[in-house]
Chains A and B, each alone.
Chain A
């Protein structure tokens, strides 16, 4: 069975400091990993996916198969980054997403 773990429910970071939201997964096959974000009063939306290897809003995430991790990072936090972040996993070629429990990120001005 696939499983996604986000160990931090809450994370507070000062503006300008680096951010790292942790995500670990368990899955025996080839996973596809994603980060979703939910800003206050907005819909849950896709932030980035590992297959694209892109940087969105300054965030990056590298899939580490050896450590089964997909941590989300940003070098300099901004106030508008305050949101709820969910890590999610899908089996390759399958639409079913398994979400982690989420991390609420608060950026302290």
Chain B
């Protein structure tokens, strides 16, 4: 089944303990992106990647890192999590082809709580 898979789906951690949220897609999509969803703020883009080894900051990149060593994987790294990073995180992917701009395929979300 074509999909975007995130892990873990739920995580409670403590301030300062490094964590990684993995994202994998099996659709051979070039574009991948991370969003966080917060009440009243909607979805805000953290980082995105146009292809392998090509990443760029979104609107709220502070406190996050990403890497794109393989086309299918786009992990989100929180080096030193803080409580203001408590949120629901979504990974999304999209093929970069003519006529398909804007159709993102989303993962199920990862709910992160930082104490």
Binding site for B on A (CB under 8 A): 6, 9, 32, 34, 36, 43-46, 49, 86, 88, 90, 92-102
Contacts and interface: CB of A to CB of B under 8 A. Distances in A.
A90 B103 contact: no
Contacts of A43: 106-109
B89 interface: no
A49 B42 contact: no
B60 interface: no
Contacts of A95: 31, 33, 48, 50, 94, 96, 101-102
**A-B complex: 8 closest residue pairs judged by Cβ atoms:** A101-B42, A99-B43, A44-B106, A90-B102, A95-B31, A43-B106, A34-B102, A102-B42
Chain B interface category by residue count: 20 to 34
B48 A96 contact: yes
Nearest to A46: B103
B104 interface: yes
B90 A44 contact: yes
Contacts of B107: 43
10 contacts: A32-B102, A43-B107, A46-B104, A92-B101, A96-B45, A97-B45, A97-B102, A98-B59, A102-B42, A102-B43
Interface string B54-87: 0000110000000000000000000000000000
Contact of A90 (B35, B43, B101): B101
Interface centre among B42, B45, B50, B108 (most CB of A within 10 A): B42
B40 A101 contact: yes
